[in-house]
Every structure is written in structure tokens, then in C-alpha cells.
Structure 1
């Protein structure tokens, strides 16, 4: 799987987890861990998809 395919897979996961355009910080962390990528990268993709992050544990978002 190349990087572009991996990014699309992560975006799909984000979209599936988002409810009314919102995803929790805990879910963003879970996606990052599952896909073995940084939380920062997941955050960038969430922002790119115009999805908001709520209930942030560390103030990262």
C-alpha cells in the first residue's frame, strides 16, 4: 500500500467515526494508533476533512 492509499484509508476511518461533523480526541488517538501514524497527522487529516475534534484530553486540537 502506498502513502496516498494509506492516507485515503485513514480519511475513510475518520469519516466513519465522525458524527455530525465531529470526532472525539480519543477516537483520533485510536485511529493514529491503529494506523501506526502520528496523532498530528490524523489531526491534519481531520482538519482537511472539515471535521471538528471535541473532548480533547491534552489540548492538542
Structure 2
């Protein structure tokens, strides 16, 4: 896995102050940062942030 850009890690950290990020918020963040959704997921994993309210029912 490539190193996740610091700007992505910081944005995910800021978007999830309670350690949880909704799937819709994660998608919006990916679009705003111009990165693939998987990068947001990898950043969340690295930061131990949980994805909630998954639109696919996976989490």
C-alpha cells in the first residue's frame, strides 16, 4: 500500500472527531480531495476511525 497523503489523513481526522465517519461523509470527502474512495477508507483504517451508516450495508 502506498503512503496515504498527509492532507487526506488530516481531513479524515478532522471530519471524524469522535472516531466515526459516515459513508456519505467519506464519499463527499473523497470527491472534495480528488482521491478515490478507497484512499479515504485506508486513511480511516490507519487512524482507527470507523465508517458508519454504510450505503451498501457493509458496516
Asked if Structure 1 and Structure 2 have the same fold, meaning a TM-score greater than 0.5 normalized by the shorter chain, the answer is yes
Q: Which runs of 5+ in 2 are unaligned?
A: none
* 1:49 is the counterpart of 2:50: no
CA RMSD in angstroms, aligned pairs only: 1.8
Deviation at 1:58, TM superposition (A): 2.1
The structure that is helix-richer by fraction is 1
* 1:10 is the counterpart of 2:8: yes
Aligned position for 2:35: 37
List 4+ stretches of structure 1 deviating above 3 A.
none
